[in-house]
Amino acid sequence: DSGVTQTPKHLITATGQRVTLRCSPRSGDLSVYWYQQSLDQGLQFLIQYYNGEERAKGNILERFSAQQFPDLHSELNLSSLELGDSALYFCASSPGAYYNSPLHFGNGTRLTVT
């Protein structure tokens, strides 16, 4: 158990809809990262938050947004969903702001857009 909690485990929704994915980091970790993994693909970095502030941005679409709350949990909002957004979305956490700490991944949320 990594200590990172992601909910829900599965989401099935229709094109054009909006969903929210939730992540609770490991106790004591201040950074939260979001990654997208499409079928048999690698991990695409979306965005990082550190202690409530956006720290780094990757290939995140404008239809996607995220935030980190004072209790350090994070939410990833995906809107105007398209079929191509179907993927596994992972949240990861680490203690510090930089990339020299190991990332601890949650079990992921599998999003299916029909």
Cα–Cα nearest to 79, from 12, 19, 13, 11: 19
Enumerate residues 24-83 that contact other proteins by CB under 8 A. Answer: 33, 35, 42-45, 48, 55-56, 58
Cα–Cα nearest to 74, from 55, 94, 58, 52: 52
From the CB of 60, what's the least distance to other proteins, in Å? 12
From the list 21-29, 62-70, 73-81, 100-108, the region that binds other proteins by CB under 8 A is: 100-108
Q: Is the distance from CB of 32 to CB of 42 less than 8 angstroms?
A: no
Residue 40 structure tokens: 């048999």
Binding-residue total with other proteins (CB under 8 A)? 24
From the CB of 39, what's the least distance to other proteins, in Å? 12
Q: Is the distance from CB of 56 to CB of 99 less than 8 angstroms?
A: no
Residues near other proteins (CB under 8 A): 2, 33, 35, 42-45, 48, 55-56, 58, 90, 92, 97-100, 102-108
